[in-house]
Structure 1
Amino acid sequence: MTPMGDVTDYLATLDGPEHDAVAHVLDRARALVPDVEEGRSYGMPALRYRGSPLLSVMVTKQHLGLYPFSPAVLEDLADHLAGFRTTKGSVSFQPGAPLPDDVVDAIVRARVAEIDARQK
């Protein structure tokens, strides 16, 4: 059984604009995928879908990071991510310059499709 509360517990440690920005991304993901569960992946609190990590959103010293656990998803959506710093596995953003909702939605939908395809 996946431990419950990892994401909720992490969110409770944040405040101000960082809390709001992280909560907003998580709320978008939950709205698109209502049956996600909370857990951990690669040591990070993460939303999980069908037993696989869907995404994590974390505060770092210099930015907020969205981690979709899929380099392919970020490669496929590179045109949507112009203007944001990306690595092979993450997208960086600031609380005052959040990822647009359509970009978050595209990342979530692409990751869900990837998980679904792998589990068929």
Structure 2
Amino acid sequence: MDRDGPRIKLRLEYDVPLVLGPGKAQLLHLIGQHGSISAAGRQMGMSYKRAWSLVEEMNGAFALPLVDSSRGGTGGGGARITATGQAVLRHYESLERLLTDKGAADLAAIGALMKGDDT
């Protein structure tokens, strides 16, 4: 996606209640990348408490947890994205791509109706 042009930010709202948007998707991605809730939160500029709260919210909304974590200690803790978490992230990213690809003409058309930079 072109960062200089318009962007689609997908936000899915469920009755569970759960809102799954770009922040939670990025958190899941980074937990998978780093194997750590605290490292993922740090990279996003949020506290461990906030990151953990979002993980608990997501885990509580699904039949199976999206993130599995273990406490720290002498061996250190960690976190991993479960198969369910990987599936949720894969489907979310697929919807983003679909909207971006299929919505490109509509995004451009809306942009063409906006004020230019010279006004």
TM-score normalised by length of structure 2: 0.26
Bigger strand share: 1
Q: Which has the larger radius of gyration?
A: 2
Structure with the higher fraction of residues in helix conformation: 2
TM-score between the two structures when normalised by the length of structure 1: 0.26
